Amino acid sequence: MVQISLPKNSEVKKGKYFEDKTGSKNLRKINVYRWDPTTEENPRIDTYEVDMDNCPSKVLDILNKIKNEIDPTLAYRRSCAHGVCGSCAMNMGGKNGLACTTSHSEIEGDIDIYPLPHLKVKKDLIGDLDGLYKQYQSIEPWLKNNSTKQTNEIYQSKDDRAKLDGAYECIMCACCSTSCPSYWWNGDKYLGPAVLLQAYRWIIDSRDEDRKQRLKKVADELKLYRCHTILNCTSACPKGLNPAKAIAEIKKMLATANV
């Protein structure tokens, strides 16, 4: 259901202010969403003054700097720092993206950093993605081949392989799904752009023999048709993929094919 305001326990309060101690003249204010699960308190926004003269170019570098030099209690996920693992997905300057590939120079004014939108927060910038992973499992993201005697590799033409471009590169960072208002209001039933892009990836795979079943499974008022082409997903994707188009292609297949 559409719920515009936040529940009482989620209202964001003003937090602490960390003044700069380096004496640098090139300072930037970073507002970070904080929530500590060991207390009963509401989430808060802590503000850090960060010395930009000694900070590399990405938002993740700012977070690392805060954690290493100012406040070691800050919690966030990160791993590869090269836009490959998808761990550091968060909301920066009002838009979802990977902290390791988003330059802080892209954001004007103070930098607001929030966890991915409309998730249950585990701590600070870490959201709970269990629901999304369960939905991902529900589309059975593996190759299905009905023959039991298949022992050699399954050939695929260059054209068929090319169909997977733009779908297989997804790193499941959840930037798109958590940017989608439809997914905010109906996340328990609507599969969301990330999972639907993967559903599409297996539907169009020429080696997969379960195409019809897959299409049937996804053809559902709530699972698929909650996409209203708001296109937040496509504009949020840090890998430049187009989940909205993939969803449109699934809709088109269902409208034209005899499933």
Partner 1 sequence: MKNRPLSPHIQIYKWHISSLVSISHRITGIINFFAITLICFWFAFMLLGETNYQIIKNFLETFLGKFILIGITWSFSFQMLSEIRHLIMDYGYGFELKTTKVTGLFVIFGSIILTILIYFLGRGFV
Binding site for partner 1 (CB under 8 A): 4, 6-7, 9-10, 12, 33, 35, 37, 40, 42-43, 91, 93-95, 112, 114-122, 127-128, 179, 181, 184, 228-232, 234-235, 242, 244-245, 248-249, 251-252
DSSP type of residue 105:
G
Q: How far is the CB of 88 from partner 1 (least distance, A)?
A: 15
CA distance 176 to 191: 12
Nearest to 251 by CA among 204, 207, 218, 212: 218
Q: Which two tokens stand for residue 65?
A: 């700097």
Give the length of the chain: 259
Task: Name which of 99 and 244 has its Cβ closer to partner 1.
Answer: 244
**Nearest distance from residue 37's CB to partner 1, in Å?**
7
Q: Count other C-beta atoms under 10 Å from residue 257's C-beta.
A: 10
What the block records as the tokens of 108 is: 């004007």
Nearer to partner 1, 66 or 116 (CB): 116
The pairing of strands 13-18 and 44-51 is: parallel
Torsion of CA 21, 23, 25, 29, to 10 degrees: 10
Beta carbon of residue 44, minimum distance to partner 1 (angstroms, whole number): 10
- For partner 1, the closer of residues 114 and 136 by Cβ is 114
Smallest gap from Cβ 225 to partner 1, in A, equals 12
67 vs 245, which CB is nearer to partner 1? 245
**171 φ, ψ (degrees, to nearest 5):** -105, 10
Q: Which is nearer to partner 1, 55 or 132 (CB)?
A: 132
Residue 53 Cβ vs partner 1, minimum distance, rounded to whole Å: 28
The answer to whether 19 touches 48, Cβ cutoff 8 Å, is no
Q: Considering the complex, state which of residue 49 and residue 249 has its C-beta at the smaller distance from partner 1.
A: 249
Q: How far is CA 115 from CA 19, 224, 236, in A?
A: 23, 26, 14
- C-beta of 133: minimal distance to partner 1 in Å? 17
